[in-house]
Structure 1
Amino acid sequence: MTTFLHDGDLPADALASASAVAIDSETMGLRLGRDPLCVVQLSDGQGDAHVVQLRRPDYDCPNLKRLLTDPAVTKIFHFGRFDIAMFFLHLGVVTAPVYCTKIASKLARTYTDRHGLKDVTKELIGVDLSKAQQSSDWGAAKLSDDQVAYAASDVLHLHALRARLDDMLAREGRDALAKACFEFLPHRALLDVAGWEDTDIFAHS
C-alpha cells in the first residue's frame, strides 16, 4: 500500500481508469459555511490512497473537480451528505453519481444503531480503524504523518464495504430503495447548504 500526498490538486493521471473512487474529506469543523474544507482523500480500492491538501482560499483543483463531476465514476462515501455539501460550498461542484455506505448500512443493518465507519468496518470486513486523528488541526500548513495515514485509512476500505453492503441490500430486497436514496443524496446536500440542514421537508409538521 502506498499513500500519495499531493499539494493543491489530484494529478491529472491519478485514478484515471477507475470506475468507482472512494472519497472522504477533512475540515476544520462540522459547520457548513463556517468551517473550511482542508483535505480530500481518495482511493480506487486497489490498496493505494491519494491525499490532497487543498490550497485555501482559492481551491484551484480542476482535476479533482473533474473527477467529482464525472458521470462515469461512482463516488463512494461514508456519510456523503456532509462531504458533498462541503464540495459544493468550497469547490463549486455538485458531486454525482454517488454511493453512501452509511445510508446502505442503515438500510441493510437494521439489527443495530451503530452505523459509524469504525463500527461498520469492524463488523463487515474485520478491520479496526483508528480514529485518533479525527479531531486534529487539518488546516495546518504541513500535515503530520499520522494525519496522512488517518486520512488514507478512511477511504482504503470503502470499496470492500460497498461490496458487502450490496450483498446485504440485495438479500433484504432493499437495493432499489438504496439506489434511489443515493440518487437523491446530492439534492439533500444542496438543501443543507440552502438552509434546510435541520429540517425534514417530508415531515407532516
Structure 2
Amino acid sequence: MHRPDPIPSARRSRGRRAAATLLAVAALALSAFAHADEFVLQSADLREGEPVPALHLFPACAGGNVSPALEWKNPPEGTRSFAITVFDPDAPTGNGWWHWALVNLPADTAALPRGAKPPAGAMALRNDFGVAGYSGPCPPPGKTHRYEFTVWALKSDKLKLDAKAQAMLGGAMARADALGHATITVKYSRPK
C-alpha cells in the first residue's frame, strides 16, 4: 500500500537547506573559537621540556638562584590579577615541592624580567625552602624532576593572603580562583 508523503518535497528541501546553513554557521563559529588566541607563557630563559639553565638553579646545585624572565599574552577576558607559581610534582615529599609563589600581580602586568622583585602590590609567599621569593630547582641526586612554571589569570583583584602564607596555599587559592593558566614545564636531574 502506498502512503502519501506527509511532507511535500519543496518543504523538505527548505528544511535541509536551513539545517545545512545552521551547520555551516556552527562550524564557522567553532573554527573562530578554535583559532582564538590562546593564553600563553613564554620565557627567554626557559624552553618547554628542556633542562633548567644553571643561572636558575638553587645554589646547592651550583646555580645562580635567579628567577627566569617570564612573559604572557592573551589572558582570558575578565582577568583582574595574576599569580606565578613554580612547582616540582616529582619531589619525594608526597606533595611535591613549591619553589615560588608570587600573587596579586596587577592585571596590567604582562611580564617579569629575569631576577624580578615583586612589583608594587604583589607579594611573594614562603616557598618550601622557607623563603619568601624564588628558590631554584635542586632535587635529590638521581631522578629527573619536572618544574612547572605557571601564570594564573585570576577573577579576583587580590588573593586574601598575608606575608606569612605558604606557597602551597597560594597555589591552591590561585587554582581555585583561576579563569585560566599557562605553563612552561622544564626539567632537571642532579648528578649522583
TM-score, normalised to structure 1's length? 0.24
| Higher fraction of helix | 1
| Higher fraction of strand | 2
TM-score, normalised to structure 2's length? 0.25
